[in-house]
Amino acid sequence: MPASPTEDELTPAIIELKKENPELGIAKVHALLTNKFPEWIVSEKRTRKILQNQGLIVSATGQAPNVQVYPSSRVVSGLNLAKWTPKVDVKWFDKRKGKGLVATQEIKEGEVIWKEDPFIVAPEWDIFDLQTRSLACMFCTTPLGDSPLITTCLASNITSPCTARFCSRLCLTRSAQVHPLLCPARNPASIPLIKFARETRWMALHALTHCTGRLLLAYQSDEKTFNDDWEISCALAELGMEERHKYSFNLSGQSEPDRDAWKKAHRLFVQAFKEPGTPLDVKKLAKILKKPLPKNLQTALFDYDTGFLRGLGRMSLNLEAHGGLYALHSHLNHSCDPNVSVRHLNQRTALARITLIGKRDIRVGEELLVTYVNPQAPYRARQNELQGWGFGACTCPRCVEEAKKLKGGNDQELADLASELKAGLGVM
């Protein structure tokens, strides 16, 4: 029987059609939609509204129509999963939960599900210090021994030295994805930004520095490279703007920078990648970024609210504990009783590479879940930490069970929490 689809059903369907047919206008996308889903009752007005909300059509006051629009969305298009594993698929759950990964085949306890190198890695500060002291690879973060393959940054010279060293020529070549913009020899305008991130131990800022460097350099190469990288960075989960005051910019246990620090970081960020402070630095940056950025992309990266703060929020939500950002791993949702563990198994050869392993048998269709917090921590501590990150109350089966038990006990405060949880689940 024909029925009106929910927003959560309709939105991903429209996004997919528009991405498959980027040249089509509202009426044609709508026609495709009604063709593809004859059982749905949808007005063209509703299709238009969703396209607008998703930033997939240019508004009357917006950019010229020949400028490409870069939407920010939670649905990944063109993410080539086969590159990592045939064992999982991306699934869109609903607006509240967003996306996640489900098993497409039986996975056994102890089985390797996939291995993944980071999209970018802004390593923990002790590793970062090794990098700047030439003791760890500037690209893959692996501590360096005395291998004859080790190579130095080619741009380094006496007047503007760069201490970066790399495991091998392969790491050196790959570092062209991001190092040129962070290299003190090639882009000295980035020095104050990186120094500030280090002083404040601000991992999300450091990660955003790497991510922006990678996107800007991808834009200088071919269109496909850029579109792939842009998709990955847009697909990262982000907090809504209304939740911005809850942004937690550091990994847990570290203090959160205040608004003045955000402003200062933004100033240094713009100085590093867009408007260096001295004519010489301007010249050096222009040598790396020859192709000018379109206006909408400049806004998406450098605008204080819509670019910078959102970018920081995205980084802090998606960074793995050691500072890497992974295209596929970042799709995993949380459970306090996870069925997947994340390991750094290649300590000697590729420190930043992660291996995802089944913690127990996983059925086809079952969601893959990791823990964002220490699973040994008690109920209340886990809830607090997750809420501190802006994730809201955890309603995983373990939390529901433990909340129930606590409700049976005498602790009134915890009992209240338990009923809040139940209310969140709609079982009150």
Q: Would you call 16 exposed, middle or buried from its count of C-beta atoms within 10 A (0-12, 13-18, 19+)?
A: middle
Contact stretch for Zn ion (CB under 5 A) within 95-103, 216-224, 298-306, 329-337: 329-337
Q: Which is nearer to Zn ion, 102 or 377 (CB)?
A: 377
**Sign of the CA dihedral 329, 333, 336, 339?**
negative
- Residues touching Zn ion: how many (CB under 5 A)? 14
CA–CA distance, 118 with 116 (Å, rounded to integer): 6
Q: Which two tokens stand for residue 310?
A: 């959102």
| Min dist. Cβ of residue 394 to Zn ion (A) | 3
| Min dist. Cβ of residue 117 to Zn ion (A) | 10
| Min dist. Cβ of residue 161 to Zn ion (A) | 9
Binding to Zn ion by residue 421, rule CB under 5 A? Answer: no
The conformational region for residue 390 under phi > 0 = left, psi -120 to 50 = alpha, else beta, is left
Contact stretch for Zn ion (CB under 5 A) within 107-115, 194-202, 314-322, 389-397: 389-397
Binding to Zn ion by residue 13, rule CB under 5 A? Answer: no
Q: Spell out the residues 6+ positions from residue 118 whose beta carbon is closer than 8 angstroms to its own.
A: 320, 324, 325, 326, 352, 353, 354
Select from 292, 314, 310 the least CA-distant residue to 301: 310
* Other beta carbons within 10 Å of 230: 18
Contact stretch for Zn ion (CB under 5 A) within 125-133, 154-162, 228-236, 315-323: 154-162
Q: Which is nearer to Zn ion, 164 or 235 (CB)?
A: 164
Of 167, 205, 234, 235, the residue at the interface with Zn ion (CB under 5 A) is 167
Contact stretch for Zn ion (CB under 5 A) within 9-17, 82-90, 197-205, 399-407: 399-407
| Min dist. Cβ of residue 162 to Zn ion (A) | 3
| Min dist. Cβ of residue 421 to Zn ion (A) | 9
Residue 368, SS3? strand
Of 88, 120, 130, 164, the residue at the interface with Zn ion (CB under 5 A) is 164
Q: Would you call 58 exposed, middle or buried from its count of C-beta atoms within 10 A (0-12, 13-18, 19+)?
A: middle
| Min dist. Cβ of residue 381 to Zn ion (A) | 11
Of 394, 417, 418, 421, the residue at the interface with Zn ion (CB under 5 A) is 394
Q: Which two tokens stand for residue 157?
A: 């010279």
Q: Which is nearer to Zn ion, 89 or 401 (CB)?
A: 401
Residue where the block lists tokens 């201490």: 163
Residues 178-217 that bind Zn ion (CB under 5 A): 183
Range list of H helices, 106-220:
125-132, 169-174, 179-182, 191-199, 203-220
Select from 381, 316, 377, 368 the least CA-distant residue to 342: 368
* Whole-Å CA distances, 343 to 42, 210, 329, 352, 363: 46, 23, 12, 10, 21
| Min dist. Cβ of residue 331 to Zn ion (A) | 19
Q: Would you call 292 exposed, middle or buried from its count of C-beta atoms within 10 A (0-12, 13-18, 19+)?
A: exposed
Amino acid at 64: A
Residues 114-143 that bind Zn ion (CB under 5 A): 137, 139-140
| Min dist. Cβ of residue 213 to Zn ion (A) | 12
| Min dist. Cβ of residue 273 to Zn ion (A) | 16
Q: Which is nearer to Zn ion, 171 or 332 (CB)?
A: 171
Of 26, 81, 356, 396, the residue at the interface with Zn ion (CB under 5 A) is 396
Asked if residues 351 and 142 have their Cβ atoms less than 8 Å apart, the reply is yes
| Min dist. Cβ of residue 185 to Zn ion (A) | 5
Q: Which is nearer to Zn ion, 217 or 396 (CB)?
A: 396
Binding to Zn ion by residue 328, rule CB under 5 A? Answer: no
Of 75, 88, 121, 153, the residue at the interface with Zn ion (CB under 5 A) is 153
Q: Which two tokens stand for residue 410?
A: 């005498």
Of 57, 76, 162, 217, the residue at the interface with Zn ion (CB under 5 A) is 162
Q: Which is nearer to Zn ion, 318 or 333 (CB)?
A: 333
CA–CA distance, 428 with 424 (Å, rounded to integer): 8
Contact stretch for Zn ion (CB under 5 A) within 15-23, 59-67, 164-172, 227-235: 164-172
Binding residues for Zn ion, rule: CB under 5 A, are: 137, 139-140, 153, 155, 162, 164, 167, 171, 183, 336, 394, 396, 399
